[in-house]
Structure 1
């Protein structure tokens, strides 16, 4: 009997121990299942974010393509406007200024081009900065080319940055062209 009692006691002890092991294993399995569920929910959220980001990326690419088409169109328009501006500036009648009204009987007419790059460097918004950078033409009466340049230098030498760029004899009649334009 005692043996039977010890066997029953051993079976109960082993059953209790197996019950504890089973409860521990079940708790760990439950924790693992919870972790797996959490990981799956995070994975689903990440996949949702990835899909959303892919859609946004596609939208951004489409918007970039549209903006590039707009930029290309605007650049074409800009080049057309610049071309028309260049044509208009080329057609623009140059303004000839008279340096002085003093004239000797033997003097010839000279066109003296005077430039000043410093005006644009100091104040690019100055209304005459571009004219001075290109050069302004002055009508000068003088005996020779050298004397015409000297007269222009004397006139502008007091101010820094002015220099004579070119001296050329007047070809044609300046006065008849002006009268014809005035009549039109």
Structure 2
């Protein structure tokens, strides 16, 4: 039942979705990469629990794609994230003015509506272990609720990783 709830939440979040941009080194033979691991000195910028959630979801998705976690990997994964608040863009304008043959002035006031939203940017880098060079990168940005339940956080990561890995390897 728990898996069903998480899947439903993930599907809902995927429809709202994150913005994901991709970049990769042209000419890379992506078929040579079969095993992976993570940088040992990685600082993800997330809490330890969120980092574990992201790693678990990433491992499951990579395994589904045929990759395996290894002590002697073909490539390493580096993850960085940052949180920020979006500026409020919704305002109501109230104005006064004059016109015609009279001299008039104007007053306008912008009243903010709603709250600013929290967002999180996550950058996932795939680095060739032998060449020590970046060959693929995904930069994602999505809304983030710092007070979300663990189940909702996991669902957000599931939707995000699904979207991020949907374009890997590039065609």
TM-score range, shorter chain: under 0.3
Structure scoring higher RCO (CA < 8 A, sep ≥ 6) equals: 2
Larger Rg: 1
Higher strand share: 2
Give the TM-score taking structure 1 as reference length.
0.20
> If each structure's helix is expressed as a fraction of its own residues, which one has the higher value?
1
